[in-house]
Structure 1
Amino acid sequence: MKDVSIIPFNGKTPQIHESAFVAPGCRLIGDVRIGAGSSIWYNCVLRADVNYIEIGERSNIQDGTVVHCDGDHGPEHPGIPTIIGDDVLIGHMAMIHGTKLYDKSFVGLGAIVMDGCEIESGGMIAAGGMLTPGKIIKAGEMWGGRPARKMRDLTEQQQAINNLGTMHYAQLAPLHDEAVSAS
């Protein structure tokens, strides 16, 4: 991987499936696990120094996004990993911290998802939204604003359109991988 920082931390080295695409400028630190067909786009930072970050299959984390996890603060607060399921779309410049994103969830451009939040399958935080700690977006709901609140339910057709974005990035990643390799 050209111009990618893969930094072991505290005895843990990022694990990247051979079919995943990690673009130049990315920084992967510590206990990061990236699944098959997933893509991490230009200049993302995934820092798993105090807990782990797990990314499923065919998920994409778009340019400039920062993903971190919540560390252990004692017996009453054991810390929260960041778990990103399969077929998840995370838009450009998002911030994801100590969160669970279920399969086929959607994080809009520039959104912030904070500690202990969950976005269930088909759920969406709109562009620029800020999901404050502990909030849960239920399956098929769209939330937006700062702080984010439920705006409406998404139709099955709208959820399917969101999933097309994930498929688009899965098809685009190998083309970028070729271009990076050829440069």
Structure 2
Amino acid sequence: MIQTRAIPTVLPYQGKVPVIDPTAFLSNAVVIGDVEIGAGSNIWFNVTIRGDVHSIRIGKNTNIQDGSVVHCTKNRFSTTIGDNVTIGHLALLHGCVVEDGAFIGMKACVMDGVVVESGAMVAAGALVTPGKRVKSGELWGGSPARFLRALTEEDLRIQMSIAPHYAEMAQTYLEEVGGGVE
């Protein structure tokens, strides 16, 4: 049997060292600089979180899926991601705020000054241009993204089931191959 361990890269930058809750799961993600990651969050394979020019704050029980990039804007926009947020594969979040319980779809791009309110959803492949506000209960999609429709009860049920699913998967990975921060 091959022994494996998914080891993240955690790097200081200009004297700022990432602060990662010991219950968070990080696979081979890269986390740099002024970053805080909350309890129970899970950061998956090939994610880059780069707090080198401003701060990045990630809440509790949030999942950031494979290949995503989280960055910020020098001297202008930090990035804040709330609790119980789901960020799909290959998403790009840059200098924005994603509030508790929001959902960002695969390959979505959320740009500087955007606010995605609690319980809002950004569709896969959407480009949310600078300064927009995606309101609670709304689905935005397209390029550039625009309001498509109100979320249904089924949308919200599915949305709220994803973060706990990824938390469970992270626990399985921790038990089988490791991947926490030491």
TM range (shorter): over 0.9
Q: 1:147 aligned to 2:144?
A: yes
Partner of 1:57, secondary structure, is coil
User: In structure 1, how many angstroms separate the alpha carbons of the residues matched to 2:131 and 2:168?
Assistant: 34
Query: Match of 2:129?
Result: 132
- 1:12 aligns to 2:16 (yes or no): yes
8 Å Cα contact 1:23/1:177 also seen in 2: no
**Matched pairs, number:** 175
Structure 1 stretches (4+) deviating beyond 3 angstroms?
none
Contact 2:109 2:126 in 1 (8 A): yes
Structure 2 residue runs of 5 or longer lacking an equivalent are none
2:25 pairs with 1:52: no
Structure 1 segment 148-167 matched on structure 2, within 5 A: 148-167=145-164
Q: CA deviation at 1:177?
A: 1.6
Shift of 1:160: 2.1
- Distance apart, 1:2 and its partner CA: 4.4
Q: What TM-score do you get using the length of structure 2 for normalisation? A: 0.93
Higher relative contact order (CA 8 A, sep 6+): 2
Deviations 1:126-172 (A, max 9, x none): 00000000000000100000000100000233212101011101111
Alignment of 1:52-71 (within 5 A): 52-71=55-74
| Equivalent residue, structure 2, for 1:75 | none
Q: 1:28 aligns with which of 27, 31, 40?
A: 31
> What are the Cα deviations for residues 5-43 of structure 1, in whole angstroms up to 9, with x where unaligned?
11100111011101000002x111001100000000001
Instruction: Pick one of 38, 43, 53 that aligns with 1:40.
Output: 43
Q: Gaps (5+ residues) in structure 1?
A: 73-78
8 A Cα contact 2:7 2:26, kept in partner: no
Q: Deviations over 1:84-121 (max 9, x none)?
A: 00000000000000010000000000000000001101
| Aligned 8 A contact 1:130 1:147 in 2 | yes
Give the letter for the 1:19 counterpart: T
Identity score, percent: 48
